[in-house]
Amino acid sequence: MSDLYLVFKNLTRNKLRLILSCFAIFIAFLLFGVLGSVQKVFDSGEEASSDTRLMVVNKINFTQPLPIAYVNKIKAIEGVASVTYANWFGGYYKEQKNMVPTFAVDQDTYFEVYNNFVVDPAQLQEWQNTRTGLMVGRVTANQWGWKVGDKISLSSNIFSQKTGGQTWEFNIVGIFDGENPQVDTSGALLHYKYFIETQTFGSDWVGWIPLNTTEAALNDSVASAIDEQFANSPAETKTSTEAQFAKAFIEQLGNIGFILTSVVSAAFFTILMIVANTMALAVSERTNEIAVLKTLGFSAKRIFGQVLSESLLLSIIGGLFGLGLAALLVTGAAQAPQLKSFLPTLMFPTEIWLKGFAYMLLLGFVTGFFPAYNAMKLKTIDALNRS
């Protein structure tokens, strides 16, 4: 009679207990997989950030504009390698539910600063020379089936044209990619001049000013020089690294990382208590059987291994089902048009599988160690007398 057979028979002897225990573990790893994938999306903004890229925004709030005259003044500061400017457009395609992250940018300098985007030189030149040209990210192009040469209309839920309409006509002249999978290629880029000349809000302002420094060691001094130059002006600035800016933007929604970590931690703590209690009860019910096995010549270490293996197998079965369903849900959700605009880099990364399997082993070991140790130390005579 093999140890694996005994482990399997002991694990399945109380099928209701097995199902309930597996279901509890399944829920914990389902939450871990889904929430971990969402957390990865929020972290990707910081991970993909350039070490030398700074963001200049209005000190009051990043939704407040800055004078466009600041651009040339910032360009003259020592340590600044390149500068561009941009503004949120608030675009949607056909219906407001079809959000397309759209930015009005300076076509001549944008890709100099955002050099982690990859674009065909011919398409870049065509975009720079086409007033109504639209440069589309690969994710958005795939989402809507757009290709170079298409003519589309994008509407803004914020701005209106001088003619009274809220829809702009564009020619798709290029599609850009990221230099690695972490770079967000959702959204579209239009000419700032085309946007500013046709809308009604004014023409001497920009939303924010991104720039690259010559080296990361100069980030702090450049940021201080910018903020000092515009101190006590009608539009004071706040300059931070791109990673800090991305983190601050996400934190406006709340401390997402803390919330997700708290939910997963609470789930795992609950499962730890449930499975530990289940294993302790299962071993207690088999006290006489363990004593008989020892009488038949099973060593204490062999008994320890059987009980610990039972706990590990229970954790792995429930965990694999949980992560498997999480992978299916995340992969399916990543294809939903409504989510692509908000979670453009959503995927089920290999990192989640690796961490998940490690947690399965840890859960199985922690919940099975003490029951296995007690079984190993069980004295045969005492156990038989107890019966």
**Are 370 and 364 contacting, i.e. CB atoms less than 8 angstroms apart?**
no
Q: Is the pTM of this model over 0.85?
A: no
Where do runs of H (alpha helix) occur along the chain? Answer: 3-12, 15-47, 70-75, 110-113, 121-129, 138-144, 192-198, 219-229, 242-251, 256-285, 287-295, 300-334, 337-340, 350-377, 380-386
- Would you say 188 and 101 are in contact if contact means Cβ atoms under 8 Å apart? yes
Residue 253 is predicted with a pLDDT of 57
More confident site: 297 or 238: 238
Q: How far apart are CA 260 and CA 267, in angstroms?
A: 11
The amino acid sitting at 200 is T
- pLDDT for residue 177 is more than 90: yes
194: confidence class by pLDDT, cuts 50, 70, 90: very high
Q: What percent of the chain has pLDDT over 90?
A: 49
| Mean per-residue pLDDT, 251-264 | 68
Q: How much is the pLDDT for 208?
A: 95
Q: Looking at residues 144-163, what average pLDDT do you find?
A: 92
Please, are residues 185 and 177 in contact by the beta-carbon 8 Å criterion? yes
Q: 126, 110, 59, 29: which is closest to 321 by C-alpha?
A: 29
Confidence of residue 86 (pLDDT cuts 50, 70, 90): very high
SS3 149: coil
Q: What is the pLDDT of residues 113-126, one digit of tens each?
A: 999 999 999 999 99
* Residues in Cβ contact with 217 at an 8 Å cutoff, skipping those fewer than 6 apart: none
Count the residues in the chain: 387
pLDDT the model gives residue 341: 58
Please give the residue that has the higher pLDDT: either 248 or 98: 98
Q: What is the mean pLDDT of the chain?
A: 86
Nearest to 103 by CA among 16, 18, 5, 176: 176
Torsion of CA 81, 82, 83, 89, to 10 degrees: -140
User: Both tokens of residue 216?
Assistant: 């990361």
Q: What is the pLDDT of residue 144?
A: 92
Answer yes or no: is pLDDT of 278 > 60: yes
**For the purposes of burial, counting CB atoms within 10 Å of the CB of 164, is it exposed (0-12), middle (13-18) or buried (19 or more)?**
exposed
Task: Please indicate whether residue 228 or residue 38 has the higher confidence score (pLDDT).
Answer: 228
Its sign, for the CA torsion 356, 362, 367, 368, is positive
Q: Round to whole Å and give the CA distance between 356 and 26.
A: 11
pLDDT above 80 (res 361): yes
What does the angle CA 319 – CA 320 – CA 321 come to, to the nearest 5 degrees?
Answer: 90
